[in-house]
Amino acid sequence: MNHRAPRLLIFDSGVGGLSIVADVQQLLPGCAITYASDNAAFPYGTKGEAELVERVDAVLRALIDKVEPDVVVVACNSASTLALPQIRAHFTVPIVGVVPAIKPAAAQSRSRVIGLLATPGTVARAYTRDLIARFASDCTVVSQGSSELVHRAEEHLRGKTVTTESLRELLSPLFAHPRFADMDTLVLACTHFPLLRPQLQALLGDRITLVDSGEAIARRVSYWLDELKLTPGATSTEHTAVFTRHSEDVEGLKPALKVLGIDTVEWRLM
């Protein structure tokens, strides 16, 4: 076995992927994590498909050269549902994607009415429709795309208050759906949204279970480390955050980054 700390690159357009960092750290505390935010191109969820694939490919090439990671996590549903085939073809390092947790949501739903809360791009993508057809064909899936909720999660992580009433307004299409009263499960299909889990749970009530991909992604990373014969230590190690654009907003993020053990902030302008 190799006893150095495994190196993980966890990548997103904004800070939603920090929810994945938290789940990975909980399962694998002894990994050295580089969290990369392509804030120069934020948000990914509103980008055209060709533009998004080209951007993700270019940024990942630069980051992989810099970090030399053992495993890469594309911690963005928009990028994963679109760009994974191309980027996996270009890199030899294992790449773990984040896709909407429709399969586990359908497996646990008793009412057979599940919600899907994502970015507009993820809701519209053929990949998402295929997941629904494969794993939730006997369910009513109530979908809502929201880019504004991504911004609210970013604000929350920077210490701004996100009120229940503001979330109720953003989720009004979900509440207005004729089957909302029967919904018992809601998929948080954007890595930003688990950052607002307490507020969303308080708004929706206990009858609706919130499901995301974080734990499954952490288990997948663990699988690849086993395959590579890399053993994480028992305690946390140093972590770094990399941003692709200088921004005053990053200063507001530093307390949240510090909670995750990320003390070093670097810039790789692109």
pLDDT, tens digit, 9 for 90 and up, residues 130-179:
999 999 999 999 999 999 999 999 899 998 999 989 999 999 999 999 99
219 and 93 in a single domain? The answer is yes
- Mark which of 166, 189, 211 sits at the end of a domain: 211
Closest alpha carbon to 45 in 154, 184, 181:
154
29 occurs within a structural domain: yes
Interhelix angle 126-135/77-90, rounded to 10 degrees, is: 100
- Mark which of 211, 235, 258 sits at the end of a domain: 211
pLDDT at site 1: 46
24 and 87 in a single domain? The answer is yes
115 and 181 in a single domain? The answer is yes
Tell me what percent of the residues of the chain surpass a pLDDT of 70.
Answer: 99
**What is the value of pTM for the model shown?**
0.90
23 and 47 in a single domain? The answer is yes
128 exposure class (CB count in 10 Å sphere: 0-12, 13-18, 19+)? buried
Residue 58: pLDDT band (50, 70, 90) is very high
2 occurs within a structural domain: no
200 and 223 in a single domain? The answer is no
106 and 86 in a single domain? The answer is no
Active site (catalytic) residues: 76, 190
| Domain that residue 153 falls in | 102-211
Out of 14-18, 29-33, 34-38, 231-235, pick the least confident: 231-235
- Mean pLDDT score of the chain: 92
pLDDT at site 109: 97
207 and 218 in a single domain? The answer is no
106 and 206 in a single domain? The answer is yes
More confident of the two residues 1 and 177:
177
194 and 131 in a single domain? The answer is yes
**Residues near 14 by beta carbon (within 8 Å), at least 6 away in sequence:** 37, 39, 42, 43, 150, 154, 192
Residue 265: pLDDT band (50, 70, 90) is very high
Give the Å distances, CA to CA, from 129 to 92, 133, 142, 217, 269. Answer: 29, 6, 12, 21, 35
Q: Tell me, what CATH number does 164's domain have?
A: 3.40.50.1860
1 occurs within a structural domain: no
11 and 78 in a single domain? The answer is yes
Instruction: Evaluate if residue 2 carries a pLDDT over 60.
Output: no
pLDDT digits (tens, 9 = 90+) for 86-138: 888 888 999 999 989 999 999 999 999 999 999 898 898 888 999 999 999 99
Per-residue pLDDT, averaged over 220-233, amounts to: 93
pLDDT at site 82: 85
pLDDT at site 234: 73
- Per DSSP, 180 falls in state G
